[in-house]
Structure 1
Amino acid sequence: MFRASGLRPLALDAGALCGGIGVLVALCLLSLAVGSRPLGLAEAWEGLRAHDNTVASLIVWRLRLPRTALAVVTGAALAEAGVVMQALTRNPLAEPGILGVNAGASLAVVLSVWLGGITTVSGYLWFAFAGAALAAALVQLMARRSGEAGPARLVLAGIALGASLNAITGTITMYDTSAFDSYRFWVVGALEGRDATLLAWVAPFLAVGLALALASGHTLNVLTLGEEQAAALGARLGRARMLALAAITLLCGASTAAVGPISFIGLVVPHVLRLVLGADQRRLLAASLVAGPILLLAADIVGRLVIRPDELEAGVVTAFIGGPVLLVMVLRRGETAG
């Protein structure tokens, strides 16, 4: 009887994961079909399978397949980064941008446009990633100036640095119209116009970041108990934080560089999954690999439909979807607790 009851949560987890994967596959196929030139699901599948010079195949392979793949990997990366960030800071409302990563990437993009005249996504990709990495490193150094870089110091350092970098970004864009024009299209977060080359550039960074995040599940479980308890259990706090920060930097830096600072995924997905699955970070990290892409793909598909033939950026739609979902889940949890 004990063994059967113990196996039941595992069966439920496996069933939920298979259901999530099914939803993700369906959204991927729908993403190949939806756009300014709509395709039927059968036509999109045939274009994917044939890989020839037909109109449907060219649309699928050159435009929508890279976009769909980028949505899947960046959605997973942002959700994983959110899980790691919330466990690292022991704050269920923390999100990756709190470390100043988005602010660093934004300033680097503006500087590349202002000083270098770079106006393409592929051109300022590396500037954005370098800015995100440098900002994360500065936050770590600032937090360590007063001793061990605990969660509170990391958050305060990230907020302070982010505010400073955003002020510089705002000043530059206020007085340089070309920098502002390029920046305003990037900063909302969008998947439109991204190609397979861009995906190939960011894929190695995302792969390493995902590997670090998934490998840190047990350590994150220990960190959520508190620093004193984690140290008593033998956790190497400094090493654990460095690996977690490296994962966040790689995941957020590469994702933000590729598609812009898309909000709410790193906040909503971990929080909702925690309400459903509990606080085991290993389960949250595994589920985020599916839930993050589902949210970003759904937002991208909705954005292509609501004002067709034009598009609404995915970063805008995630805010509309993520905000109400998070509010409903929090209210339902409060009613259950009451």
Structure 2
Amino acid sequence: MGAFFGVNGKKLQRQYKDYLSDFKQWDQLKHAKDWLIFPQNMGKRLSIDEVALSQGELYTVVTNKKAKGKAGAIVAIIEGTKANKVIAHLNKIPLEKRRQVKEITLDMAPNMKLIAKTCFIKATQVIDRFHVQKLASEALQEIRIKYRWIAIDQENEAILTAKSKHKEYSPELLLTGETRKQLLARSRYSLYKSKEKWTQKQAVRAKVLFEQYPEIEKAYKLSQELKAFFNTKNGKAIALTKLAQWYDKVEKSGFKSFSTIMNTIRLNYQRIINYFDSRSTNASAESFNAKIKAFRAQFRGVKNVEFFLFRLTNIFA
């Protein structure tokens, strides 16, 4: 913008920060890098999550769902994720306001659980369904990657064998016209989707993949059934029945990674099941985090954390 008007860009930015904006008069400037709270933005339904502002440094962000990622969304931004520090700053919000919070969505991190329990004592905790589903997707991808490494090793051995016999290596092509290595690599995105969302090519590739690797098909079905559990429309009782059935299938599958997910769900099942009360997710927090990242990219990173937070809160707080 500065170059368009024949003005030095860095000088314009400096002038804006020091004189044109109210940054130097900001009432939260002294502690902005450590904590920011906006009690006026409290609501009955909150989300809590972490986000990296600069160079991987994490901040804990509490947002009001009612604001839908717009003005009034930010309740608090606190440097770090240590529970005792976050709790100390959130407790600066009057207890009366914190007691009015009815629900808070979060991930399965123990520190987030402790923060929510301590600061919002009357709020029902709801673990975000997408964090649970993500674990299943990662377990599925882990199995796919295992077979891909096997395919790469087999191809390398075949090439070396061909060279030792002074022959030209000719790879085995499957019905899709791909090698096993290619099939496993190109199936990545298909495995994230339900069958109904596959394109025609993805459906053909999946058919070949499942024929060649039945274990991947079994893991894919487990991942999709966990998704179906959250899509149950008949409340907690039916959901618990479906979850018990899923547990049984996981135990029979013998997949270590899925057994780990099953145990994680067992340890957090009450807060996961709370999802069926109002079907709340942490999507608003994830969306807000995406906005922060986009805001950061627009200004090519964060050179001055305090000024970045000043501009961010001017828009969203």
Which range, TM-score by smaller chain?
Answer: under 0.3
Q: Could you state the TM-score of these two structures normalised by the residue count of structure 2?
A: 0.26
Q: Could you state the TM-score of these two structures normalised by the residue count of structure 1?
A: 0.25
Using CA pairs under 8 Å that are at least 6 residues apart, name the structure with larger relative contact order, 1 or 2: 1
